[in-house]
Structure 1
Amino acid sequence: MVWLPADHRLMGDHGHQMPFLVLGDKYARAVKVGAEAQPVMFPLADTGQIQELLSMVDGVMLTGSPSNVHPSHFDEAVADPSLPLDPARDQLTLALVRACVHEGVPLLGVCRGFQEINVALGGTLHQRVHEVPGLMDHREPKTAPFEVQYAPSHPLRLVPGSVFETWAGGSEVMVNSLHGQGINRLAPGLDALAHAPDGLVEAFGVRGARTFAYAVQFHPEWRCWETPFYGAIFEAFGRACRSRQSLRLQAADLARHTPA
């Protein structure tokens, strides 16, 4: 089972909005099909429950979202108040990242999740990548069909000898691009494993991690079964989750047969 934390959003019509907990279908489907694991949610989970809930799952995936990580977590003011934030998600996921790394729980971050991991471990973000001199505009054409928004947009340069080079089958691969924020300072303990043509970090791994602990700025969940590189990421994540499941079940079986 893979835990996917939810977004917190206000939804409704005619001036009446109510809070909803939201998980994008494409993320859950990529876990189900690509990683061959069961996606699960724990609605209203809080930081005090992280240890208990991690003991019940085999991995964690931090998804993308329309919302951004609140810049107060990297000591900046909000640059664009019109962009959505999700402080409730921040409170859970930033602590969850640190717990996953400490406990050796397989961890995959995508887009916002990629940024969450960087911030949780001490890195910072560009709030508006397209306004940084020398960097590209990495945002998608929002009025275009989804097939266009998620189509390959630019190449990635993959670090030689990295798992990403193995998954891609070469040193360069095309990926989609749908983000306004991006990494400014990479957190200590993270290794950059892929870069966009402008030098922006697009993938990293947690140095010395005991298990799968990788994150990407692009969106491999989009029809991952149609793109070998995207599929390879989820297949590797799924293998790590099954390894943890085996260890969890062995530990549970041992506990059942150990005299009190």
Structure 2
Amino acid sequence: MSANQIHPPVVLVPACQRILGRHPFHVAGKKYIDAVRLAGCVPLVVPAAQADELPALLDLASGILLTGSPSNVHPSHFGEEVLDESLPLDPERDAWTLPLIRLALRRGMPLLGICRGFQEVNVALGGSLYQAVHEQPGLMDHRGDGSKPVEEEYGESHPVKLIHGGALDRALHGLAEPVVQNGEFMVNSLHGQGVKRLADGARIEALAPDGVVEAFSWHPAADDTEAVHGGFNLCLQWHPEWQAASNPVSQRIFKAFGSACAAYQSARLSPSGAASDHVERVQHPARR
């Protein structure tokens, strides 16, 4: 019996810190937890961790899901001052997810970043963000309307264009019209921040009509012999966890993530005990 038949892969879900009443709590949205289970994995919500705890946490798991959040990544992490003091921040989450991301990706651990999680990965790897995409000349307003019913707020907003040959393109291969038409499909949009400079080693997977990066994956340099090559990671600016069980695009994304987590677990628990020995080698696309 294989390792993934003994128990499903464990996926770390880093929590946000919120003040509820007069006290701080660590929280994670239910829709993310449900989506991890949809992927065939066991969600493990993790509170803010110390630096020396990160390796132990990674040793427990076979994947990471970085959730969206009302909070923004603090601009100090990409060399800027806060431009709008009214917007929520979560420095406690930033402090440990950014180093966690770097460690996980170098292990080749499967990672799925959603909205804030998408932005965290870019910043963790040295990229930068627009603090307000809607204030940039020529760019759309990508924010959601919180005054609408949630079904409308999370409804389809704009198309994205797939980049041929990437991880997202492979995950969605074979989806027929009207879901994917001419390499495009519809997504929701609820973000104020967005990619300004894409991190080195990141490959664009999808673009919005205004050119804003909507999806990317990261690949270590070809001559980086210490990082695991070929691991699954995918970062999405939209919210695939919303109605993930019924949306064909979301179903494919979480299936690909779950399969990658199961493969990583099987390799991790194999007699060699080294996932890096079993991660499939892939030919990396040209760097930016």
TM-score over 0.5 (shorter chain): yes
Letter of the 2:241 partner, please give it. Answer: E
Give the stretch that moved more between structures: 239-248 or 178-187: 239-248
**Does residue 9 of structure 1 match 2:18?**
yes
**Does residue 199 of structure 1 match 2:211?**
yes
1:99 positional shift: 0.3
Letter of the 1:29 partner, please give it. Answer: D
Q: Deviations over 1:81-116 (max 9, x none)?
A: 111111110011100110011111111100000000
The 8 Å contact of residues 168 and 234 in structure 2, kept in 1 or not, is answered as no
Q: Deviations over 1:141-190 (max 9, x none)?
A: 11111110111110001102223233343410100000011000000010
Aligned to 1:40: 44
Matches of 2:273 and 2:230 in 1, distance apart?
23
Aligned to 2:239: 219
Classify the secondary structure of the residue corresponding to 2:270: helix
Give the stretch that moved more between structures: 188-197 or 242-251: 242-251
1:125-136 aligned at under 5 Å gives the runs 125-136=129-140
1:221-240 aligned at under 5 Å gives the runs 221-240=241-260
Relative to structure 1, the CA distance from residue 187 to residue 125 in structure 2 (aligned partners, 3 Å threshold; closer, same or farther) is same
Q: Deviations over 1:170-224 (max 9, x none)?
A: 4101000000110000000101110000000000011254211110000000011
Q: What is the aligned residue count?
A: 249
Letter of the 2:26 partner, please give it. Answer: L
1:252 positional shift: 8.2
Give the stretch that moved more between structures: 39-48 or 126-135: 39-48
Relative to structure 1, the CA distance from residue 252 to residue 22 in structure 2 (aligned partners, 3 Å threshold; closer, same or farther) is farther
> Which of 11, 32, 49 lines up with 1:27 in the alignment?
32
**Does residue 188 of structure 1 match 2:193?**
no
> Which of 77, 93, 96 lines up with 1:92 in the alignment?
96
1:67-82 aligned at under 5 Å gives the runs 67-82=71-86
Give the stretch that moved more between structures: 158-167 or 220-229: 158-167
1:101-140 aligned at under 5 Å gives the runs 101-140=105-144
Classify the secondary structure of the residue corresponding to 2:46: coil
Classify the secondary structure of the residue corresponding to 1:236: helix
The 8 Å contact of residues 112 and 257 in structure 2, kept in 1 or not, is answered as yes
1:249 positional shift: 2.1
1:253 positional shift: 7.9
Matches of 2:155 and 2:57 in 1, distance apart?
36
Classify the secondary structure of the residue corresponding to 1:225: coil
Classify the secondary structure of the residue corresponding to 1:21: strand
1:132 positional shift: 0.3
| Bigger share in helix | 1
**Does residue 159 of structure 1 match 2:171?**
no
Matches of 1:160 and 1:253 in 2, distance apart?
34
> Which of 134, 139, 144 lines up with 2:148 in the alignment?
144
**Does residue 54 of structure 1 match 2:58?**
yes
Aligned to 1:242: 262
- Of all paired residues, the percent bearing the same amino acid is 51
Aligned to 1:258: none
TM-score, with structure 2 as normaliser: 0.84
TM-score, with structure 1 as normaliser: 0.92
Matches of 1:241 and 1:111 in 2, distance apart?
20
Matches of 2:77 and 2:117 in 1, distance apart?
14
The 8 Å contact of residues 48 and 93 in structure 2, kept in 1 or not, is answered as no
Relative to structure 1, the CA distance from residue 70 to residue 63 in structure 2 (aligned partners, 3 Å threshold; closer, same or farther) is same
Letter of the 1:54 partner, please give it. Answer: L
Matches of 1:43 and 1:79 in 2, distance apart?
28
Letter of the 2:204 partner, please give it. Answer: A
